[in-house]
Amino acid sequence: MIDTRTPIISIITVVRNDAERLQHTLTLAARFKGARTEHIVIDGDSNDSTLEVIKNNGDIIDRFISEPDKGIYDAMNKGIALASGTYLLFLNAGDELLTNVEELVDTTPNFPVLIYGKANMYNPDGRLLYIKGKRLKSNNQFLKGMPLCHQAIIYRRDSIPFYDLRYRVYADRALTYHLLSQCGLQQTCFVDCTLVNYYEGGFSNSFTDAALHAEQNEFYRHIGKEHYIFIKYIKTQFKKKVKLPLQRLFGRHVRK
């Protein structure tokens, strides 16, 4: 049961030294900000004009923190601790909100632990690459990759744990997998609408392939699925030594 006296949704935006994109995100989110939407900004002790942007948007931002952190997921954990909304949406600097999430949450039945939808996935140059997000058929989809865009997932605050800081990139995937493993897909709700525009080429691209590979292997070990390390290795070798050479030889009409 949703308490009508508290915010129904807390939008949490984490940022560091990204004033222009923060302003863009805030301006677009403000279009949908109702009386029961709380917007929280967690700034990682920026030394550009980010703090000025935060202070100039006091009519949009309900709470903010500006202090050093241990990374993006530590900042998100601070947002979780500060939030008072029944549900949480993580909308980082540069992300573009397309849907009135207050109305969306208010009209979603059965009080699910997780509400999720679709996201437009853009190249940094503005080209639409693909649309991410379909109705989940199995929790095992998270073993193959991240089937959802993190910014198109709305978590119920009383069900979400803190992000595991042993991960620098995979914490959102790990958290969502554990939440669904505990609660089951029957306590989730897919909404067939596009929640956000997300621009690739940001945070995760700052890590090497080796670092991402090592972190993925740690995820598999942590959830007791070590055999997926071998499965992923075989698939990678097949792509590298068979599929790509065939594509170069015969063109790109080799089946995926």
Instruction: Give the per-residue pLDDT at 243.
Output: 77
Domains (range + CATH), the chain: 9-206 (3.90.550.10), 228-256 (no CATH)
pLDDT band at residue 228 under the 50/70/90 scheme: confident
Where b means 16+ CB within 10 Å and e means fewer, 136-152 reads beebeebbeebbbbbbb
pLDDT of residue 197: 98
Give the per-residue pLDDT at 246: 77
Is residue 183 within 8 Å of 106, Cβ to Cβ?
A: no
SS3 168: coil
DSSP state of 204: G
d(CA 25, CA 22): 5
Q: What is the pTM of this model?
A: 0.90
Q: What tens digit of pLDDT does each residue of 15-41 get?
A: 999 999 999 999 999 999 999 999 999
pLDDT score recorded for residue 203: 66
Q: For a pLDDT cut of 70, what percent of the chain falls above it?
A: 94
Q: What is the structure's pLDDT at 1?
A: 52
Mean confidence (pLDDT) of the chain? 92
Which pLDDT belongs to residue 205?
Answer: 66
Longest dimension (CA), the chain: 64
pLDDT of residue 155: 98
| E strands, 152-203, in order | 153-156, 188-199
Average pLDDT score over residue span 57-84: 97
Is pLDDT of 81 > 90?
Answer: yes
Residues comprising the chain, all counted:
256
How far lies 153's CA from each of 48, 104, 146, 160, 185, in Å? 30, 12, 12, 12, 14
pLDDT value at position 134?
A: 97
Q: By mean pLDDT, which of 5-9, 115-119, 148-152, 174-178 is the weakest?
A: 5-9
| Per-residue pLDDT tens over the stretch 112-167 | 999 999 999 999 999 999 999 999 999 999 999 999 999 999 999 999 999 999 99
Look at residue 154 and give its three-state secondary structure.
strand
Q: What is the mean pLDDT of residues 43-50?
A: 97
* Helix, strand, coil percentages in the chain from 3-state DSSP, rounded to 5: 40, 20, 40
What Å distances lie between residue 197 and 27, 129, 135, 167, 180, CA to CA? Answer: 14, 11, 18, 25, 24
Position of tokens 């080799």? 254
pLDDT over 50 (residue 53): yes
What is the band of 256 on the pLDDT scale with cuts at 50, 70, 90? very low
Average pLDDT over residues 170-195: 97
Q: Helices 171-183 and 209-222, interaxial angle, to 10°?
A: 20
Q: Which amino acid is at 181?
A: S
CB atoms within 10 A of CB 135: 12
